[in-house]
A and B are shown apart, each in its own frame.
Chain A
Amino acid sequence: MNNDIQLDVRGLPPPEPMEQVLALLPQINNGEKRLRMLIDREPMPLFRILESENFEYSIRKQPDYSYEVIIWKKA
């Protein structure tokens, strides 16, 4: 979707990716936009927070072994 907010946190050490994602979550809270993030690792701790805050996510491994995570508000 062109409307997605893009966030590339590859090459950043923890916890910077987590801090950046959390700062952006309010922008997709109304359900109009999704957040598309590129990250080096599976952000396991983030998933727990997303679940408890009523967000859904999909994760896809990229050819370069990084991950694409798409996050959106549960309908």
Chain B
Amino acid sequence: MQRALTFDSMPGLMAPMRFFLAAPLFGMLAALVLLFSGPDAWLSRWSPAMLSVTHLFTLGILTMSMAGSLIQLLPVAFRIQIPFTNPLGLIVFVLLGIGTLTLAGAFLTLSNPLFMSAAILLGTGLAIFIFALNIGLWLSRKQQAEKAKASILAIRYSVASLVITVILGLILVYAFIHPLGLSLVALTNLHALWGLAGWVAILLMGISFQVIPLFQVTEIYPTGMTQRLLPILFVVLLLWTVFSEWFGLHSGLFQTILVFVLALLATVFTIQTGVLLKGRKRPAPEVTTLFWWLSLASLLGSCLLLPLLQLFSLPQLELSLGILFILGCAYSAINGMLYKIVPFLVMLHSQEIVPFHSGAAPKIKDILPETHAKRQFWVQLLTVPAMLAAAWQVPGFATLAALLLLASAGMLFFNLLGAVRIYGRLAKQFKKPVKSQ
């Protein structure tokens, strides 16, 4: 009985896992949308299919897995207990999942009722998530692990950026349905900037400060960087917003300068992370290391394209930037981290149900074989340039890129599912006798 109680009081395996399993399914869906839309989808970032795919990625893959990771990571790594983790996690998951599907459908059909429904579902789901996270941070403000301060700060900046992104998204839906005389392009750029450079990039960098040295066995990041980079980045985003055409201080020149600063900050992070990975104490790269390299190379590419866009405002350049940052950098990093987190979680939860002396607890390398994960990495590695070729209208690549994405996301899904099924089999075998004690 004791064991069953201990097990029930912590976030269950499925609390984060449902987010992790849903992420590649959204990737597969994005691939299908691209496949059926053909080359038309690639005309610009404003094509209905591309807007739909963009949100399947940013909400369905990135936000989904980042929310799942925070739910799991905060209590285990930082001693931050989110109240009612299991039921709240489920509610957020359902609202975020259905909201993303609705929004993706709304872009494809340009249907106002669908946009309104998506706004309500996503607004509510993300508001609950942000509120619960902040309650958790506040309740445990005294017992937060000292070493984790830099990461907790990153979570705060990143979640603040998410709040701004969601508000801007809701205004965009309203402005789309009831034209307000606002520039939808300027508003969209702000929404994208806060979502990608704020919510996604800040969290990714903050988490890297912890997980790169820990899991990749590297030296630690310089303190100057972990303490200053993210606050400066956040201020740059704020200034960029203040100088946008939305405010009286509008200045195109200052905005351009800030874009260069943003690219410079991200480049500094990329180079520092690259230097750390290069000096790994274990020379043989694991699959997660390969994903980190792909992610860093794509981030470096984004840093080059971002200033270039200030000079040449080409639709293909805009698409390339999105592909490099969302698919190449953020999705690849998350993909790699899932290969660390998921087998570890399955092992941990298996220990809770399998008597330790029975020898039945699975080993990490058997839960998710490295060869399967590496196979998926190579497909992902091909997907990024194929997508770029599709963006530049190279004939045949619209279909090829969609097929590669479908294969990459599908392989990720089945790799993760295989790991969860190992736990499922053990639960069937061992959990009943424990509960009946």
Contacts and interface: CB of A to CB of B under 8 A. Distances in A.
Interface of A: 11-15, 18-19, 22, 25-26, 29, 41, 44-45, 48-49, 51-53
A48 B3 CA distance: 10
Interface string B192-235: 00000000000000000000001111000000000000000000
B436 interface: no
A17 to B, nearest CB: 11
Name the residue in A11, A13, A49 with the highest tally of chain B Cβ atoms < 10 Å from its Cβ.
Answer: A13
Interface stretch (B35-43, B262-270, B305-313, B357-365): B357-365
25 contacts: A11-B281, A12-B217, A13-B215, A13-B216, A14-B214, A14-B344, A15-B343, A15-B347, A18-B347, A18-B348, A19-B363, A22-B356, A22-B361, A26-B356, A29-B357, A45-B76, A45-B348, A48-B6, A48-B352, A49-B348, A49-B351, A49-B352, A49-B356, A52-B3, A52-B352
Contacts of B214: 13-14, 41
Given A13-B216, A15-B347, A19-B347, 17 more contacts: A11-B217, A13-B214, A15-B344, A18-B348, A19-B363, A22-B351, A41-B214, A44-B77, A45-B76, A45-B348, A48-B6, A48-B10, A49-B351, A52-B3, A52-B6, A52-B352, A53-B356
A19 B352 contact: no
Given A15-B364, A22-B356, A44-B76, A51 B6 contact: yes
A53 B3 CA distance: 8
Contacts of B76: 44-45
Contacts of A13: 214-217
Given A29-B357, A48-B6, A49-B352, A19 B364 contact: yes
A18 B214 CA distance: 14
Contacts of A48: 6, 10, 352
A18 B362 CA distance: 13
B2 interface: yes
Interface string B229-259: 0000000000000000000000000000000
A34 B275 CA distance: 41
Contacts of B361: 22
A56 to B, nearest CB: 15
Contacts of A49: 348, 351-352, 356
B427 to A, nearest CB: 16
A29 B6 CA distance: 21
A3 B135 CA distance: 47
B269 to A, nearest CB: 21
Contacts of B281: 11
9 closest A-B pairs by beta carbon, nearest first, are A49-B351, A15-B344, A52-B3, A13-B215, A52-B6, A13-B217, A26-B357, A53-B356, A45-B348
Contacts of A25: 356-357
A26 B351 CA distance: 14
Interface string B336-356: 000000011001100110001
B384 to A, nearest CB: 27
Contacts of A26: 356-357
Contacts of B3: 52
Contacts of A12: 217
A52 B2 contact: yes
Nearest to B357: A26
A49 B10 CA distance: 12
B305 to A, nearest CB: 33
Nearest to B2: A52
A25 to B, nearest CB: 6
A52 B361 CA distance: 15
Contacts of B2: 52
A19 B79 CA distance: 22
Contact of A14 (B215, B352, B357): B215
Contacts of A18: 347-348
Nearest to A26: B357
Contacts of A44: 76-77, 79
Contacts of B6: 48, 51-52
Nearest to B347: A15
A53 B364 CA distance: 20
B326 to A, nearest CB: 28
Nearest to B286: A13
A26 B361 CA distance: 13
Contacts of B215: 13-14
